[in-house]
Amino acid sequence: MTFKTIALCGALALVTTSTATAAELTRRPFGQTPSGEAVEAFTLTNAKGVSATVITYGATLQSLIAPDKAGKKADIVLGFNDAATYVKNASYFGASVGRFANRIGKGRFELDGKTYQLALNNNGVAALHGGVKGFDKVVWKVLSTKSGPTASVTLGYVSPDGDQGYPGTVNATATYALDEQNQLTITYGATTDKPTIVNMTNHALFNAAGEGAPEGAMGNVLTIPANGYTPVDNELIPTGAITPVAGTAFDFRTPTAVGKRIRDASDPQLVVGKGYDHNYVLNGKAGGALRLAARLADPKSGRVLEILSDQPGIQFYSGNFLDASWVGKSGKLYRQGDGIALEPQHFPDAPNKPQFAPVRLDPGKTYRNVMVFKVSVAK
């Protein structure tokens, strides 16, 4: 293995390389926050033309490059080219979200007889993705980097006791690893010094046709192996029920274009969500071996993204609130439906729904969420 140092953007970037079959890691500056904190970018690249870029602001997946059936590469993750825009944007593009991903109704939950009030940052009715300043809005520390055969970067963040209203000091980690099988594995971990709740995930918005594609992501063909989903109330908080998908617009057990039924106003759940913004109850055992959670394919380019997960659910969000307010990496305005999120996680509002899988984390235990984004080309 060899090491090379190159000048880039007025600073030094470290490049680690090895054999032709080993993934490599590059490191470069990515701007800074308004307070002057430096943000770095790490790019993991394998020999098959697949690469992923992660930035330290929000432990964010900034880019995922995948070739199509003709070998043409495209970025299939929505995002921006500089740290300053990520700081200004509130759409969580590619971010690691926590302490608790998704919504907690009224921002309240009870633990060991004590009620905790969290920051209300979702129309004043819920705590969303960890609060006003969740894991997505801080600069994470670089803990380790590694080159092939699997290239990886591990980032860490310490969330103090009382942060956004949550109890306990939480040490969170996010590891991104790319191998030669075109698999980007994200592993989230957390420990605590007192009982708390944790539910982390990645909020990447994908478009298998390519970020900024003029047709958007509504033509992407989606498969979700789930027999049920959790319907929501008018505030998008799960009611606590699990509804079968059979015979509804929520049935993606067979491959279906994302946009085929999205405007079906006869389904009140699509009306309240302004599209899809719902948690699916994944088939198979949670907490064990990874199993398929979703498959996204673009018929024109042949690009395929498979998501494997060990979590009980996956949130499907169809980009309903993108309103052309932001210019993306390719210089195109991001509009409604230009990208979709597929977020492996525990169920929303789980702390207030005892029928859902528990999200409690105690001292001496380790929270873990493993997801794999595997890119390929349809045969």
Q: Tally the residues of the chain.
A: 379
Q: Judge whether 203 counts as a catalytic residue.
A: yes
Domain locations in the chain as residue ranges:
24-377
If one counts every other C-beta atom within 10 angstroms of the C-beta of residue 111, the result is 16
Burial class (CB in 10 A: 0-12, 13-18, 19+), 80: buried
> Active site residue: 24, 40, 129, 203, which one?
203
The pLDDT mean for the chain works out to: 94
Percentage of the chain beyond pLDDT 90 is: 93
> Active site residue: 24, 40, 306, 343, which one?
343
User: Does the pLDDT of residue 358 top 90, yes or no?
Assistant: yes
pLDDT in tens, 263-302: 999 999 999 999 999 999 999 999 989 999 999 999 999 9
Mean pLDDT (whole number) for 217-242: 98
User: Does the pLDDT of residue 112 top 60, yes or no?
Assistant: yes
Q: Judge whether 211 counts as a catalytic residue.
A: no
Quote the pLDDT of residue 148: 81
Which pTM was predicted?
0.94
| Rounded Cα–Cα distance for residues 158 and 28 (Å) | 23
pLDDT in tens, 196-212: 999 999 999 999 999 99
Place of tokens 């880019």: 63
User: Does the pLDDT of residue 1 top 60, yes or no?
Assistant: no
Q: pLDDT class for 5, splitting at 50, 70, 90?
A: very low
> Is 103 among the annotated ligand-binding positions?
yes
Q: What class, spelled out in words, does domain 24-377 have in CATH?
A: mainly beta
> Is 199 among the annotated ligand-binding positions?
no
Q: pLDDT class for 22, splitting at 50, 70, 90?
A: confident
* Secondary structure tally for the chain: helices H, strands E: 2, 30
| Rounded Cα–Cα distance for residues 219 and 337 (Å) | 10
| Rounded Cα–Cα distance for residues 257 and 14 (Å) | 42
> Is 99 among the annotated ligand-binding positions?
no
pLDDT in tens, 296-343: 999 999 999 999 999 999 999 999 999 999 999 999 999 999 999 999
| 60, 93 contact by CB (below 8 A) | yes
